[in-house]
């Protein structure tokens, strides 16, 4: 396992535990399902969020420059 895969695995486990602990007012299966979803898909969601924020920033910059 490379260091990149080890880092990804460690962050995925941390996300799984964090989301499971934070959702303490939900039923067990909902907590477990959302924690597994986040642990599996956190990196693609982070990339999508970054692209969204970059696009939003560029759009705001264009609106500001048009004034």
pLDDT per residue as tens digits for the range 34-61: 999 999 999 999 999 999 999 998 888 8
pTM of the entire structure? 0.69
Confidence class of residue 14 from pLDDT cuts 50, 70 and 90? very high
Domain that holds residue 47: 3-66
Q: Work out how many domains the chain is built from and give that number.
A: 1
Mean pLDDT score of the chain: 91
Q: What is the distance of C-alpha 1 from the center of its chain?
A: 23
Is the pLDDT at 18 greater than 90? The verdict is yes
Is the pLDDT at 29 greater than 90? The verdict is yes
CA distance 19 to 39: 9
Residue 24, pLDDT score: 86
């Amino acid at each position: 396992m490379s260091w990149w895969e080890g880092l990804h695995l460690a962050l995925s486990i941390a996300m799984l535990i964090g989301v499971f602990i934070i959702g303490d007012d939900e039923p067990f299966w909902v907590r477990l399902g959302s924690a597994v979803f986040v642990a599996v898909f956190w990196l693609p969601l982070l990339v999508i969020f970054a692209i969204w924020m970059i696009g939003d920033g560029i759009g705001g910059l264009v609106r500001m420059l048009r004034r």
